[in-house]
Structure 1
Amino acid sequence: MAHSLRPVPLDFLHTAPVRLVFTAEAAAPPEAVFGVLSDVPSWPEWYGAVSRARPVGGGAGREIRLKGGTRFRETIVAADPGERYAYRIDRTNVPGFRALLEEWRLTPSGAGTCITYTFAADGTPLLRTALRLVRPGMSRAFHDAVRALDRRLGARTAGT
């Protein structure tokens, strides 16, 4: 991976030049959703864009490969059971990024969970424009992933 990104703190979620925020409902409770989010190797099973995911650094980080060849080396910056799962991208093979932080915020919603996903980025002007243009595709990928995550949790519950 050729591009190192600058490390950013969690408050970058609120100050990033590009912030894409998506929300969806899951039928499962926050603790169950968090369990799937924090199970790094399971991501390809429910997030269609992910082809490979493995923990690195004794579980402090992740190595993610997306379909199409994009790769990320990440540091987990927040893993609060039932509340949020966040990671900072440290290295990628995608040019143009300067900083990238993603958060999955979990809020109880009836018997289920409201999931708010924030993609916070800084990059070259061309990358910033490209990210805004791909927003609809990212929204679709997020909503598809939440539906698959919910199906996975429903199947797990039905099998117990």
Structure 2
Amino acid sequence: MARRLRPVGLDFVETAPLPLVFAREVAASPEAVFHALAEDVSGWSEWFSAVTLARPTQDGAGREVRLRGGTRFEETVLAARAPEVYAYRVDVTNAPGVRALVEEWRLTPAEKGTRVQWTFAADGAVPFRLALKLGRAGLGRAFRDAVMALDRRLSSTHA
């Protein structure tokens, strides 16, 4: 059953009870990575294996995302500042136990491309927080694999 989450702002990335932060460098430019994240939303399923559907809504101010296993999200874009930051808040989800969730993708130039930092900032019931802490390594692997696949995709389209 879908539930509406607590509406939080971008500052939740700094204040969330459970912020999980992952980072990785890629060869692609910040502009190319930002384009893939913010402007080619429907392309997410091509490089993020957990995503089965992603599509912009509300003329790009929102997103609908579906994951393997049936989890669904309706989201509001909180920041789309090219090429540095792309962030969104989950407004409605069928995931149990979550109360608030913001994801922020921060891109900074690196010596050989871009440093991609993903913050998964969450709040939820105790069982949700415990599951997220236990699942941290898996979430980190999912991020690493997705960013590596995105980098391969971007290098093949710009080769």
TM-score (norm 2): 0.97
Does the residue aligned with 2:49 lie in a helix, a strand or coil? coil
Name the structure 2 match of 1:122: 123
Q: Which 4+ runs in 1 deviate beyond 3 A?
A: none
Q: Deviations over 1:53-77 (max 9, x none)?
A: 1111111100000011000000000
Name the structure 2 match of 1:5: 5
TM-score (norm 1): 0.97
What code does the residue aligned with 2:10 have?
L
Does the residue aligned with 2:141 lie in a helix, a strand or coil? helix
Tell me how large the CA RMSD over aligned residues is: 0.8
Partners of 2:35 and 2:14 in 1: CA distance: 25
Name the structure 2 match of 1:92: 93
Structure 1: which 5+ runs fail to align?
Answer: none
Once the 2 structures are TM-superposed, how far is the Cα of residue 110 of structure 1 from its aligned partner? 1.5
Partners of 1:29 and 1:70 in 2: CA distance: 31
Native 8 Å contact 2:27 2:113 kept in 1: yes
Once the 2 structures are TM-superposed, how far is the Cα of residue 111 of structure 1 from its aligned partner? 3.6
Native 8 Å contact 2:76 2:88 kept in 1: yes
What code does the residue aligned with 2:97 have?
G
Name the structure 2 match of 1:77: 78
Identity of aligned residues (%): 61
Does the residue aligned with 2:65 lie in a helix, a strand or coil? strand
Once the 2 structures are TM-superposed, how far is the Cα of residue 145 of structure 1 from its aligned partner? 0.5
Partners of 2:89 and 2:72 in 1: CA distance: 13
Name the structure 1 match of 2:153: 152
Once the 2 structures are TM-superposed, how far is the Cα of residue 9 of structure 1 from its aligned partner? 1.0
Q: Deviations over 1:68-95 (max 9, x none)?
A: 1000000000001110110000000012
Partners of 1:143 and 1:132 in 2: CA distance: 17
Does the residue aligned with 1:9 lie in a helix, a strand or coil? coil
